[in-house]
Structure 1
Amino acid sequence: MLLIGVDIGTSSTKGVLVDESGRIIASHLVFHSVNRPQPTWAEQDADQVWWGGFVAVVRSLMSQAPKRSKIAGIGVSGTCPTLLPVDYNGKPLRPGILYSIDRRAIEEINEINSKVGPKEILESSGNVLSTQCIGPKMLWLMRHEPQLYKRTKWFLGTNGYVVLRLTGVACWDHFSAGDGGYGYDFSNCKWDVDALNRMGIDFSLLPQLRWSTELVGTVISDAARETGLPEGTPVIAGVGDAAAEMVSTGVIEDGSLVLLYGSSLVTMSSVRKPYVSSGFILTPGLEPDNYFVSSVLGTGCALIEWLRNVLNWNDRVPDYDLLENEAMLVKPGSNDLIIIPYLTGQRSPEVNPNMFGAILGINQSHTFGHLYRASLEGMAFALRYSLSKLEKAGLLKDYEIVAGGGGSKSELWTQIVTNVCRREQKLISGSVQAPIGSAFLAGKAVGIFSSENLKKWVTYQKTIRVQKNMADIYDHSYGLFMKYLGLLAQNI
């Protein structure tokens, strides 16, 4: 009994074939790109990239499946929220519009905010209106591509389109719909018809909502011929890539926290009661009466790459080992050098797109080792600021941090975060993989796995413990960080 999990990401599609014990039998990856026909646009061809990548990955996995094995279920995750109009035959009418990196609908965002009001938008959807939202992009299509809009039968997301191709059933999973913002009623977990009407959007263009582990159908004959999958194989609704990544860490219990050290520094927590705050992202969870609350620091590993490029000399970019070694010679607190890490604006725990990065307290004693360490510390301070809000709201009490992602390979950075936040971190062995999360969800849907099984799938390479003497030093530095941040906010 094998399970297939596939994740359609921004730059690649990855898939795994998993057995009943959670062991990966086979894996495959194909790369793709993002099209930018206009500077503020970000699109992908749904047939070539989403479906084509899925077919290539699944065919490879099926060729590696042991003889006499059976595919018990299929789970698909993908970038979210994305927007793809399809016609009455399920054919894409244009390339899919990607998530927040597509900024074409700024005018529509401002118009909806002005007409409805940011407070009402936040209260009804649990999120602020931003380039992440699908409503303004639907409105943009109505205005700029009206003939296409008239031919649209449904708007679908990334995994929703693949599920349609596999089963013939059109749906949105609740997580992706909620991540799409205004137009989804988080209190009742349904499409918000009133909100859609206020934006001028036809409610019938959005198909049924399904929970991530719901079986929506089975593989139809056309899809079986293209993919090599057995006809009749069960298919779940699937989920957005961030939620699938969270599942792959083994953390799905209430009050737990996942920290992903990627280009952005992202936290996700599973909670029973919704937490509405403009500085956090609220989405439905995987099942009814469950929610995810996320914080985002736009520059995680991206800040490190920026600093490496700044320190570039004669086309020689300093490598990570050099930076880490130099930073380890610097005492905690970096001699009161404070770096404010909001190079792309502030998203959590407050929304301030006009906030900027800053280097404060610099003097002639500071070296590039100080700069690098202060960058790691600045991101840790920003994380502590977000976590303090969640703690005060009662969402996090006695908790530990489960961490993964490329940046978690840095022993220095993870120790700094542990000391600054005064929370132990468990580092996941291997990489965080959304396809594994999707495979688990498929297994849960068909009755092979339970939440207890998931804990056995995940192994940890080490636990980072709090060094109290260092943590005490960082309390002083965190105070400086908050002081400087407050002064900057007053002068924007």
Structure 2
Amino acid sequence: MVDEGAGWLGVDLGTQSVRVLLVTADGTVLGSGSAPLTGRREGVRHEQDPLRWWAALCTASRTALGSAPPGLEVAGLAVCGTSGTVLLTDRSGRPVSPALMYDDGRAKAQAARAREAGLAVQDTWALPKALWLLGEYGGTSVRLAHQPDLIVSRLTGEPPPADASHALKTGYDVEGDRWPEAALSELGVPDDLLPGVVRPGTRLGEVCPAAADATGIPAGTPVFAGMTDGCAAQIASGALRPGSWNSVLGTTLVLKGAARDPVRDPTAVVYNHRAPDGTWLPGGASSVGAGALAARFPHADPAAMDAAARAFEPSSAIAYPLVSPGERFPFRAPEATAFVLGDPAGDADLWAALLQGVGFAERLCLDYLHHLGAPVDGPLTFTGGGARSPYWNQLRADILGRPARVPEQTEPALGMAVLAAYGASRAGALADVAERMVRVRAVLEPRPGRTAVFAEPYARLVGALRERGWLPGPVAAHALGPLSRDTSGS
């Protein structure tokens, strides 16, 4: 059982900051802390100094623990990081390379080699970047580390095994629980480069005295294997029962759900993490999102623009608001570019088109998941920066034609506190622990008749994507199938 009187620490190693939350078993946040991070961006290059992660953690953890009640037991912690961020270390865990961040694009050639070896990887995944790092910094005694591995090494005093969630993009077979040794050998990956792998929630060790002095986290605090930041956000949303989905709307759009079995996708735009209790967390990441609003209207007041957009339902224009060239989900089209069909009547109309376009893309993602046979009939949760807009939340619920929940707290650090609490008990389902610690702020119902209003523009967008050759015909047909029911107003 989870210790009801204890506190749980969640650590989120983000791109711009390290965030730490101290949370009780009923979801009360007792303390929070953050410290900024900086990196180096030049074209496709994006790297950080991994030693700065540790310095930031020391600052953030002391702040989070500073408001803890006297005598509170810190019963455990877990760490999440950005998916696909890797570096090389020596055998003692000291960095010997910079960290290549989740979106570093220098390993395109290595990714092509990996695909030729039979591995379904994308250009910015960790395995291609590991091959690139070997070419630049490799030696006879290097070891690959994912972002949390370095922090856990400093916390416990020894290099840990990786968690299967972060190892997924390094080529780890989460279904078979093994590294693909034949393919890795073909790629020239040394046998001792890759760490051992454990399931998320596994106890990795405890905070050593030196780390306790640096971070303020009590010596002896158990450290549990974490998950990627996207999975951490999903845990924080509570979307862990089969059929549940969490839609994370930030700069781009990410959908992550829960299923009893992996979701098979021959195009590999949907991939599956494995939860610590053995269930599956399928998902995909689109390139549409709120970043398109910032790009078109860099100085706008979002609340004022939302209010003006209410007069344009639906907009006279139809947008596919890609943030950057190329689409990854619900279809793979490296050549895809943003577009607007029609002539908006003004800024408010264009703002409305962009808001609605994200909602249409979100609907198409869910239609594609249904096309693959994924369970999509459970609760839907809205999180991310976009979920701070009440108007956009209601608009998305209307377009999707289904209710949506908005939690109070959706930080990945909360998800890691939940995972630490689960790891300490190892009893029942992760969803049971999450439902005790995640609080729902609001539940939105689609407004009567509003789904029908958006059916025709959604159909036009689907048709435009099909005509451009980006959206496969069977997927388009599946998406268009239910529209006769929507246009009836039901």
- Give me the TM-score of the superposition, normalised by structure 2: 0.89
Conserved 8 A contact 2:286-2:330:
no
Conserved 8 A contact 1:179-1:282:
no
Unaligned ranges ≥5, structure 2: 1-5, 472-490
Shift of the 452–441 alpha-carbon distance from structure 1 to 2, 3 Å rule, reads: same
- Counting only pairs closer than 5 Å after superposition, residues 313-352 of structure 1 correspond to structure 2 as 317-330=299-312, 332-335=313-316, 337-344=317-324, 345-352=326-333
Q: Given residue 319 of structure 1, which amino acid in structure 2 is its aligned partner? A: D
Q: Counterpart in 2 of 1:355?
A: 336
1:446 counterpart SS class: helix
Q: Given residue 228 of structure 2, which amino acid in structure 1 is its aligned partner? A: G
Conserved 8 A contact 1:261-1:300:
yes
Q: Given residue 140 of structure 1, which amino acid in structure 2 is its aligned partner? A: W
- The Cα shift of 1:234 comes to 0.8
Q: Counterpart in 2 of 1:385?
A: 364
Q: Counterpart in 2 of 1:108?
A: 110
Q: Given residue 122 of structure 2, which amino acid in structure 1 is its aligned partner? A: S
Q: Compare 184-193 and 211-220 and name the one that shifted more.
A: 184-193
- The Cα shift of 1:292 comes to 1.6
Q: State whether structure 2 residue 40 is matched by structure 1 residue 60.
A: no
CA distance in 1, matches of 2:141, 2:260: 36
- The Cα shift of 1:436 comes to 1.1
Q: Counterpart in 2 of 1:176?
A: 166
- Give me the TM-score of the superposition, normalised by structure 1: 0.89
Q: Counterpart in 2 of 1:131?
A: 123
1:205 counterpart SS class: coil
Q: State whether structure 2 residue 274 is matched by structure 1 residue 285.
A: yes
Q: Given residue 340 of structure 2, which amino acid in structure 1 is its aligned partner? A: I
Percentage identity across aligned positions?
Answer: 25
Q: Given residue 87 of structure 2, which amino acid in structure 1 is its aligned partner? A: L
1:476 counterpart SS class: helix
- The Cα shift of 1:225 comes to 2.6
Q: Given residue 148 of structure 2, which amino acid in structure 1 is its aligned partner? A: N
- The Cα shift of 1:266 comes to 1.1
- The Cα shift of 1:193 comes to 0.9
Q: Compare 183-192 and 259-268 and name the one that shifted more.
A: 183-192
CA distance in 2, matches of 1:308, 1:489: 29
Over the residues paired in the alignment, what is the CA RMSD in angstroms?
2.0
Q: Counterpart in 1 of 2:420?
A: 442
- The Cα shift of 1:206 comes to 0.9
2:44 pairs with 40, 47, 65, which one?
A: 40
Deviation by residue 1:311-347 (Cα, 9 ceiling, x = unmatched): xxxxxx33113311221112x2213x11122342211
- The Cα shift of 1:449 comes to 8.4
1:304 counterpart SS class: helix
Q: Given residue 299 of structure 1, which amino acid in structure 2 is its aligned partner? A: V
CA distance in 2, matches of 1:152, 1:55: 28
Q: State whether structure 2 residue 133 is matched by structure 1 residue 141.
A: yes
Conserved 8 A contact 2:27-2:439:
no
Runs of 4 or more, structure 1, over 6 Å off, are: none
- Counting only pairs closer than 5 Å after superposition, residues 75-86 of structure 1 correspond to structure 2 as 75-86=78-89
Conserved 8 A contact 2:287-2:329:
no
Conserved 8 A contact 1:377-1:416:
yes
- The Cα shift of 1:421 comes to 1.5
Conserved 8 A contact 1:426-1:460:
yes
Shift of the 142–318 alpha-carbon distance from structure 1 to 2, 3 Å rule, reads: closer
CA distance in 1, matches of 2:306, 2:221: 49
Q: Counterpart in 2 of 1:307?
A: 296
Q: Counterpart in 2 of 1:11?
A: 16
CA distance in 1, matches of 2:65, 2:348: 49
CA distance in 2, matches of 1:97, 1:439: 26
Q: Given residue 121 of structure 1, which amino acid in structure 2 is its aligned partner? A: L
